[in-house]
Each structure stands twice: as structure tokens, then as C-alpha cells.
Structure 1
Amino acid sequence: MRSEPFAIHRLGSGDIQLLRKLNALFADVFGDPVSYASKPPSDAYLENLLAKEHVVVLVALADNEVLGGLVAYELEKFEKARREFYIYDLAVRAEHRRRRIATTLIEHVREIAAHRGGWVVYVQADYGDDPAIALYEKLGTREEVLHFDIAVTPSPRGPS
């Protein structure tokens, strides 16, 4: 296991190639090349996405190698004037685990959330992903919730 230092970098509109490296990492770590590697979006799409303040993409870098990364979304709430930050994806290459990379990525998103008026950062974990669950329990409070994916079917009339 390499132990040299790493740096956390928030991706901006000029970091398309780093985002593509991060997507490749997600495809590999999650074992899901269909979602993360097939039909990649255009550079223009990614540039526009990375320019949005409410999209937070962080990478852990060492010698221009992406060791891990995190994608989070800022959600503005309607019941109170506050924001939540949802960590959608978080992964670290197996050979770089146990170096506090995931913890450092989460700490960075917490700093961004605090700066932007966030009151909570939340994340889901899959049953059986014991290392992720242990990390999240160390950093936060566990809630027992159910998650449902509701498919979207395009309307023949278009959006209303």
C-alpha cells in the first residue's frame, strides 16, 4: 500500500478529464460499467454540469492519479430556509483504502455544506457494504429508511 500524501480537488468546468477518470473509477469499484462507462456524456454536458454550484465533485489526487472521489448534490429545502447535501457516489480504489481518503472527502463536503448554509450531509449505504456502513456510523447517525426507485416513463405529450 502506498502512503504518499494526496490532495483533495473540487472539480470545475475545466476538469472534464478528471471527471472521466472518476467515472472510470466508479465503474471499476462499483462493478457497474454499464452505468458509469457506457454512453458517456459529451464534454459540453460535463462542462455545464461541473460549472453548477450545487453539484459538488471532489477527487483525491496523487501524481495526477484519481485515488478516490465523491459526488454530492446540494438540495434547497422548502420547509425551512436551509440546504441538505446528498452524497450520491463515494469510492476509493481498493489499493488506496485505509488512508483516510473517504473520511477526508466527506470532511471536505461538510466544509462546503457549512459554507453554503447546509444543515446536514447524508448518504445511503447498501446492505452488506460493511466498510462503508462502519465509516458512516463513525461520522454520523444511522437512520432506518427504505429507498425506492420509481421509473420515469416519458410522456407522449412532453412535460407539463
Structure 2
Amino acid sequence: MTIIRRLGRADVALMQAANRLFAEVFGEEGYHGPPAGPAHLEKLLSDDKFIALAAYVDGEMVGALAAYELVKFEAERSEIYIYDLAVIERFRRQGVATALIEALKPIALGRGAWVIFVQADPPDEPAVALYDKLGTREEVLHFDFSVSGDR
């Protein structure tokens, strides 16, 4: 049975464990450089616009989700953006990712959000298959802009 826990300000050590899980699952893809320190994580976990969920099976953290509330300017509502969602390999295809997304829904509703959205890279076929099963696909282009002037 999968247990989902929302992480809060006092859960810095659990957020560090979630970050290690993300790094293990994603490798060098997006988790390079020194890990976030405790003060940074406490500040982040204190921000009600940041949502961190951890999934446990038999007391072991096996998945995690990090999301942000984006408050809209054109309407009195929000959107929730799933920034990262990861499940360790031996627990995949057992409903852990779905449980994390389902646990996010009432949080989103409580924040006045009208939608939850996530990006997936086409080569990540398992993620694309999961999101196709749970949501509506939109074809979009994603652009990154360097803040240092580099292209």
C-alpha cells in the first residue's frame, strides 16, 4: 500500500531524501551541482506555493513529486505545475506515480487551481504513457532563456 505524505517546513531531512531520490532516478540530467542546503530547503518548504509530496511503501520513500502553484493574473485562479515526479525503478508500474498525482488534486483544488499540468520529453515513453492515461495531451514547444546572456 502506498502512503503519500506532504512535506512541510519541519521536513528538511525528508526533502533532502526526496532530492536524493530525484537525483538517483534522473541522474545527471537535471540534478548536478551541489545539493540544496537545509536553510534553502526550509525556506522552500515554508512557501505555500511549493508543494512536495513523498510516496512510501513499507516505510521506504519510493517516489516524490515537486510542484509549484502559479497564481494567474487574468483570472482569480491558479494552476499547479508538476516540476518533477520520480519513482524508483523497482516500484514503477505499481501505481505510485498515479497516487502522487491523485494526492496533488485535492491540494490543487484547495488552492483554487483549475488545472494541474506537467511537461514530458517525448523520449521518456513511460512518463508520456502515464500522463496520456491521466490527462489531456497538448503539443507545445518549450524554450529556455539564459539569464546570463548566454544562448
Q: What TM-score do you get using the length of structure 2 for normalisation?
A: 0.93
* Cα distance in 1 for residues equivalent to 2:58 and 2:48: 27
What's 2:21 paired with? 25
Q: RMSD of the TM alignment (CA)?
A: 1.5
Aligned partner of 1:79 in structure 2 is 74
* C-alpha separation in 2, matches of 1:111 and 1:153: 38
Normalising by structure 1, we get a TM-score of 0.88
Residues 102-141 of structure 1 mapped to structure 2, 5 A cutoff = 102-141=97-136
- Please report how far the alpha carbon of residue 61 of structure 1 lies from its aligned counterpart in structure 2 after TM superposition: 1.5
Which stretches of structure 1, 4 residues or more, deviate above 3 A after TM superposition?
A: none
SS at match of 2:55: strand
Q: What displacement does 1:63 show? A: 4.2
Unaligned residue ranges in structure 2 (runs of 5+): none
Match of 1:68 among 63, 66, 77: 63
Q: Percent identity?
A: 52
Residues 73-105 of structure 1, C-alpha deviations (whole Å, 9 max, x = no match): 000001111100000000100000111100010
Q: Does 1:51 align with 2:56?
A: no
Aligned pairs (5 A) from 1:141-160: 141-153=136-148
Tell me the matched-pair count.
149
Shift of 1:42: 2.1
